[in-house]
């Protein structure tokens, strides 16, 4: 479990791709705090740390994850948002993030708004139904609040801290972002779905 508060931006040192998936080698200072087998969110995707050391760690990414997320777009030298797993003693400063990416969204545009920057992005229809204005969403692992919503298009506002401490500050139009919708929205659909079907059927 994570909070969507990024601890560090790491750098992709190497990528080994094969038929069975890919292994990422990530340079990051927080690697010194990781033990083999620890969970770490890499741009919102929960991965398992392999061979961690003072300078970095490796992580294996299976094909299903590569197909569902934007991790398959990474190249050596690319930057990724990193967050170690939440500890029981930590404060929940963002929102509950599982690291189970639901899909990707494409950046449409940026608009400067005082010291903030508004990021507009396009959601696939299968994810848009879980997104509401003022609701929570994780983009590349960053906990954010939906500030505007118009059909399949949504917007978030990025404060200077987010722009400086995450990869969203360098995101350009056309870039794919990993999306994890609010967990509560999925639970609500699961619970209320049968009731809605019953009402529609006249039950």
In the predicted structure, residue 198 carries a pLDDT above the cut 60: no
CATH number of 103-189, picked from 2.70.70.10, 3.20.20.80, 2.40.30.20, 2.60.120.10 = 2.40.30.20
Higher pLDDT, 183 or 115: 115
Same fold, 8-84 and 103-189: yes
CA distance 22 to 95: 29
Instruction: Tell me the residue ranges of DSSP E strands in 38-165.
Output: 39-42, 45-53, 56-62, 79-84, 103-113, 116-122, 136-139, 142-150, 153-158
In the predicted structure, residue 92 carries a pLDDT above the cut 50: yes
DSSP state of 90: S
In the predicted structure, residue 187 carries a pLDDT above the cut 50: yes
In the predicted structure, residue 69 carries a pLDDT above the cut 90: yes
Overall CATH class of domain 8-84: mainly beta
Over range 88-97, report the average pLDDT.
79
CA distance 102 to 119: 19
DSSP state of 99: S
Domain ranges of the chain: 8-84, 103-189
CA distance 71 to 174: 15
In this prediction, residue 193 carries a pLDDT of: 66
Lowest mean pLDDT: which of 29-43, 109-123, 163-177, 187-201?
A: 187-201
CB atoms within 10 A of CB 17: 12
Contacts of 192 (CB under 8 A, 6+ apart): none
In this prediction, residue 175 carries a pLDDT of: 96
3-state secondary structure of 29: helix
Q: Grade residue 199 by pLDDT with cuts at 50, 70 and 90.
A: very low
CB atoms within 10 A of CB 8: 16
DSSP state of 97: B
Over range 35-58, report the average pLDDT.
96
CB atoms within 10 A of CB 157: 17
In this prediction, residue 88 carries a pLDDT of: 74
In this prediction, residue 182 carries a pLDDT of: 85
């Amino acid at each position: 479990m994570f909070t969507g508060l990024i601890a560090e931006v790491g750098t992709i040192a190497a990528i080994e791709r094969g038929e069975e998936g890919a292994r990422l080698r990530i340079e990051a200072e927080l690697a010194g705090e990781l033990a083999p087998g620890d969970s770490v969110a890499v741009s919102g995707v929960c991965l398992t740390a392999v061979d961690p050391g003072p300078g970095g760690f490796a992580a294996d990414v299976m094909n299903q994850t590569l197909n569902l997320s934007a991790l398959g777009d990474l190249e050596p030298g690319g930057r990724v948002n990193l967050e170690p797993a939440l500890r029981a003693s930590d404060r929940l400063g963002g929102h509950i993030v599982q690291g189970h990416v639901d899909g990707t969204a494409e950046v449409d545009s940026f608009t400067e708004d005082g010291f903030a920057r508004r990021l507009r992005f396009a959601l696939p229809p299968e994810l848009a139904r879980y997104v509401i204005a003022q609701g929570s969403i994780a983009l590349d692992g960053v906990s954010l609040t939906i500030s505007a919503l118009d059909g399949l298009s949504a917007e978030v506002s990025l404060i200077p801290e987010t722009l400086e401490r995450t990869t969203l500050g360098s995101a350009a139009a056309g870039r794919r972002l990993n999306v994890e919708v609010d967990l509560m929205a999925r639970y609500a659909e699961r619970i209320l779905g049968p009731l809605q079907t019953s009402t529609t059927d006249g039950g």
